[in-house]
Amino acid sequence: MECSDPKEFSKLMTRAGLGLDDAAIQLGVSTRTVRRYMNGQVKRVDPLKIEKLREIADVRSFASPSSSFRFIDLFAGIGGMRLPFEAIGGRCVFTSEWNRFSRETYSANFPEPPESDHHFVGDIRPFAEDPKRVPDHDVLLAGFPCQPFSIAGVSKKNALGRPHGFLCTAQGTLFHDIAKIIEFHRPLAFLLENVKNLERHDRGHTFATIMGVLRRELGYNVSTAVIDSSPWVPQKRERIFIVGFREHANFDFGKLPLPSGPAPTLRSILESEVDPKYTLSEHLWNYLQGYKEKHRQAGNGFGYSLFSLDDVARTLSARYHKDGSEILIDQDGRRPRRLTPRECARLMGFDEPRGTAFKIPVSDTQAYRQFGNAVVVPVVHAVAQIMKPCIAELLRMRGREVPPSMRQEDLFYPEWASARLQRPLIPQDRSEESRFAQSRQH
Ligand SMILES: C[S@@+](CC[C@H](N)C(=O)[O-])C[C@H]1O[C@@H](n2cnc3c(N)ncnc32)[C@H](O)[C@@H]1O
């Protein structure tokens, strides 16, 4: 089989959603050779390479019957969004994460077989600029960094009567990159996650802009909820979840399955034997006590927080590696200690309370950063559970096969979610957009 037309090769590359580097790896040739194939600088492309490329393209093609829905994992960190969406029957076809240590942890936990068509890329921005390089998908996941962005210029454009779409309003932000991928691929659904404060950033304008883009400009049905993780894990961590469906879907955050039983406390996740290196040094402990006392005298409550077995921790942050001060574990008469990385994996729901399954191949410092940046897995799992029937329905409407895991009506909980408390989450489906849009006009 000859491939004299470079367009044919390029077309297959697009259908397969492969970048040059990925294609080189998949086809077992150099990146330079792939480029030469694409530019038509080679008269005849090895038929085996064409065959292989066609196979990949077929598997990836949206139209081809698939055993599960396809999702992409953007700003993937260590895969906190991927785990639950795989659990409900999805197949990850594309991951973007640029931090090399996070990539290491991700790869250790989501190894791909050599024949896999999954792409693992770094910086998402070049892909957002040329979104056809992102493979087709049904669901887009993104726990994007809360990067402040300015909407300055919008009011000026308004004043000048110039039109401005999302290409202008959100220009230069990572949200803009997500929006461009959504605009091109029009996935059936998306799930975005961010810090609770996103709603208040820039007096609500940032959130209003995001909602305006998702609802008005991209035309999705969007619901939002702030969810606290403490019914699932012994940690208070409030995050905003933004769910969008391209078409009408019977999605309702009010149906979020909350665990029953008493809320877990730190007792459930702490290790019994802990290396003494996690106990604070005398110097650091003295410093933290002095710092807290200084602020107490000044009338504010800054400083370390000490927790016992029956407590629920504060939010684990990415700076935990610095001094551990936000969550110190009381050690009865001894200086307190930090959580170990394994305990952080459990606190974030990557591991079950006594589990050790999640691989942590990086240094403690990197591990603390990664868990502090991550989502709480069982919370995303609960959201995925209520998205599942809506995704299944939309797949069915398209004549797509619905995998058995998505047909099960019963809600699956990880084993360890057996004993939990019913706690109020704060579901909201607010029309911030119009509220802030109004306030902007005044
Ligand atoms: C808030 S964290 C998301 C964590 C993830 N949800 C998890 O559970 O581990 C955001 C991630 O986006 C990554 N990131 C930031 N800018 C990026 C970019 N331009 N391209 C790819 N990844 C990026 C960061 O390295 C970080 O790991």
Catalytic residue among 3, 92, 146, 390: 146
Taking only the tens place, the pLDDT of each residue in 14-27 is 666 566 666 777 88
**Alpha carbon distances (Å) from 232 to 24, 244, 292:** 43, 24, 30
- pLDDT at residue 408, as a whole number: 56
Locate 196 and state its tokens: 């609770």
Q: Whose CA is nearest to atom 12 of ligand 1?
A: 75
Is-catalytic flag, 92? Answer: no
Contact criterion met (CB below 8 Å) for 432 and 213: no
| Domain locations in the chain as residue ranges | 6-60, 69-261+377-441, 266-373
Considering the chain, what is the average pLDDT of its residues? 83
Looking at ligand 1, which residue's alpha carbon is closest to its atom 25? 99
What does the block give as tokens for 389? 């029937």
Counting ligand 1 atoms within 8 A of each CB, the residue from 98, 120, 358, 366 with the most, and so the one to mutate, is 98
Which numbered atom of ligand 1 lies nearest the CA of 380?
A: 8
Residues 6+ apart with CB under 8 A from 139: 69, 70, 71, 72, 85, 90, 187, 188, 189, 190, 191, 387, 391
pLDDT at 72: 98
Q: Give the pLDDT score at 201.
A: 85
pLDDT bucket at 2, cuts 50 / 70 / 90: very low
| 80 CA: nearest ligand 1 atom | 8
Percent of the chain with pLDDT over 70: 79
Q: Residue 215: is it exposed, middle or buried by C-beta count within 10 angstroms (0-12/13-18/19+)?
A: middle
b/e per residue, 303-342, with b = 16+ CB within 10 A? Answer: bbeebeeebebebbbeebbebbbbbbbeeeeeebbbbbbb
pLDDT at 8 over 50: yes
Return the ligand 1 atom nearest residue 348 CA: 8
pLDDT over 50 at 155, yes or no: no
Between these two residues, 221 and 56, which has the higher pLDDT value?
A: 221
* Ligand 1 centroid to residue 195 C-alpha, Å: 13
- Which of 193-197, 231-235, 399-403, 428-432 ranks highest by mean pLDDT? 231-235
What residues line ligand 1, using a CB cutoff of 6 Å? 75-78, 80-81, 96-99, 102, 123-125, 143, 145, 174, 373-375
Q: How confident is the model at residue 375 (pLDDT cuts 50, 70, 90)?
A: very high
239-273, pLDDT tens digit by residue?
999 999 999 999 999 999 988 888 999 999 999 99
What fold does the segment set 69-261+377-441 form as a domain? Answer: Rossmann fold (3.40.50)
* pLDDT above 80 for 121: yes
Ligand 1 center–CA 198 separation, angstroms = 16
Q: How far does the centroid of ligand 1 lie from the alpha carbon of residue 317, in Å? A: 14
Q: Given pLDDT bands bounded at 50, 70 and 90, which one contains residue 47?
A: confident
Q: What is the pLDDT of residues 311-334, one digit of tens each?
A: 999 999 999 999 999 999 999 889
Q: Measure 78 CA to ligand 1 centroid, in angstroms.
A: 9
The ligand 1 atom at the shortest distance from the C-alpha of residue 193 is 6
Strands 426-428 and 238-245: unpaired
Q: Determine the atom of ligand 1 nearest the C-alpha atom of 194.
A: 1
- Give 144 Cα–ligand 1 centroid separation in angstroms: 6
For residue 126, is pLDDT > 90? yes
Q: Which residue, 123, 117, 122, is CA-closest to 135?
A: 117
pLDDT digits (tens, 9 = 90+) for 390-441: 999 999 888 887 766 676 554 444 443 333 323 334 434 434 333 333 333 3
Q: Please name the fold of domain 266-373.
A: DNA Methylase; Chain A, domain 2 (3.90.120)
CA gap 86, 414 in Å, rounded: 13
CA angle 221–222–227, rounded 5-degree value: 150
**CA of residue 143 to ligand 1 center, whole Å:** 7
Q: What is the pLDDT of residues 380-400, one digit of tens each?
A: 999 999 999 999 999 988 888
Q: Which CATH class is domain 6-60?
A: mainly alpha
* 71, 72, 73, 75, best to mutate for ligand 1 pocket (most atoms within 8 Å of CB): 75
Q: Is residue 81 a contact partner of residue 193, using CB atoms and an 8 Å limit?
A: yes
Mutational test site, ligand 1, from 97, 229, 359, max ligand atoms within 8 Å of CB = 97
Q: Are strands 139-142 and 69-74 parallel, antiparallel or unpaired?
A: parallel
